[in-house]
């Protein structure tokens, strides 16, 4: 591989240049203007030049799906017709499979559901039909499970209420039906219990009104019924006592 070697105000231009006399396209595309040294070239080890080549000549992408350079295969995959993508599902490079995860038909995504690359599985979790998404709740990577928790039907989120990762459970706490929030009332993470207190039906707030963290009890007091507020006006925390008394007094004045 050669480089242009041009100088621009003392900065050397390191644009990769292919050796055109050795290229199989020299007598066809090069002559016809379908490629250009240093700009639109499939032989140069330059993602920018390779992308321009396939953008100009998309019909040639299939000729490079077995190429030895991973970036050439990955860029070719962007321009291949969908019907020709299947052989790349098992490509040894994750960059190629990441392109596939975005492009393949939904029914092919099951072949990538257990891909060793996290980014591939995240894309799968983002595209997989809801009825198949539950199969990924046990993914070993927390970020994949976060994407699953964002898309899983609300009524099926109970599978993740005890997930070992806080971010996954936080996502679940924000989406799970209110009737099921009691399952998370004893979550070990304070910020998650605050979400529970903010979303839980007022009639169920007793479950969290004696929480060990005052900020959780404060959230409960903001929405508690008059009957529950009577028990919270003597809370051990001053802020909780204050809001409980203010709300209790205000509600007592309501005819």
Q: What is the pLDDT of residues 72-121, one digit of tens each?
A: 999 999 999 999 999 999 999 999 999 999 999 999 999 999 999 999 99
Give the model's pLDDT for residue 3: 47
**Distance in angstroms (rounded) separating the CA atoms of residues 251 and 225:** 9
- Please check whether residue 41 lies inside any domain of the structure: no
Q: Number of folded domains in the chain?
A: 1
Round to the nearest angstrom and report the end-to-end CA distance of the chain: 86
Pairing between strand 16-17 and 11-12?
A: unpaired
Classify residue 246: in a domain, yes or no.
yes
Q: What is d(CA 75, CA 86) in angstroms, rounded to the nearest whole number?
A: 15
pTM recorded for the entire structure: 0.85
185 close to 208: Cβ distance less than 8 angstroms: yes
- Does 30 have pLDDT greater than 80? yes
Q: Specify whether the CB–CB gap between 45 and 73 falls below 8 A.
A: no
Residues 121/143, Cβ–Cβ less than 8 Å: no
**Residue at 181 is within a domain:** no
pLDDT, mean over the chain: 92
228 belongs to a structural domain: yes
Any domain includes 170: no
| Residue ranges in the chain assigned as alpha helix (H) | 29-32, 47-56, 70-79, 94-103, 118-127, 130-133, 142-151, 166-175, 190-199, 214-223, 226-232, 238-252
State the residue range of the domain holding 254: 187-255
Residue 68 belongs to some domain of the structure: no
Residues across the chain:
255
Residue 227 domain-assigned? yes
User: Nearest Cα to 184, choosing from 202, 208, 206?
Assistant: 208
pLDDT of 6 reads: 52
In a domain, 205, yes or no: yes
Q: Mean of the pLDDT values across residues 138-154?
A: 97
Angle at 74 between CA 6 and CA 145, to 5 degrees: 125
Residues 6+ positions from 230 with CB-CB distance below 8 Å: 248
* pLDDT attached to residue 14: 66
Gap between the Cα atoms of 177 and 155, Å rounded: 7
Place of tokens 């839980």: 200
């Amino acid at each position: 591989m050669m480089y242009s070697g041009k100088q621009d105000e003392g900065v050397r231009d390191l644009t990769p240049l292919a050796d055109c006399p050795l290229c199989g396209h020299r007598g066809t595309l090069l002559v016809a203007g379908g490629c250009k040294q240093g700009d639109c070239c499939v032989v140069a080890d330059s993602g920018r030049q390779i992308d321009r080549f396939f953008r100009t000549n998309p019909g040639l992408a299939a000729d490079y799906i077995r190429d030895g350079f991973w970036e050439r295969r990955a860029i070719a995959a962007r321009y291949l017709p969908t019907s020709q993508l299947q052989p790349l599902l098992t490509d040894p490079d994750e960059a190629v499979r990441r392109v596939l995860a975005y492009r393949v038909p939904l029914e092919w995504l099951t072949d990538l559901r257990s891909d060793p690359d996290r980014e591939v599985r995240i894309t799968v979790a983002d595209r997989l039909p809801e009825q198949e998404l539950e199969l990924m709740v046990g993914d070993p990577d927390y970020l994949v499970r976060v994407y699953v928790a964002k898309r899983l039907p609300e009524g099926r989120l109970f599978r993740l209420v005890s997930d070992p990762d806080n971010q996954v459970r936080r996502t679940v706490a924000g989406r799970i039906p209110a009737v099921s929030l009691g399952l998370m009332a004893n979550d070990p993470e304070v910020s998650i219990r605050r979400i529970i207190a903010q979303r839980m039906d007022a009639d169920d707030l007793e479950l969290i009104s004696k929480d060990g963290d005052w900020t959780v009890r404060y959230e409960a007091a903001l929405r508690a019924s008059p009957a529950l507020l009577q028990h919270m006006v003597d809370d051990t925390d001053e802020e909780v006592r204050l809001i409980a008394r203010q709300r209790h007094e205000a509600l007592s004045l309501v005819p």
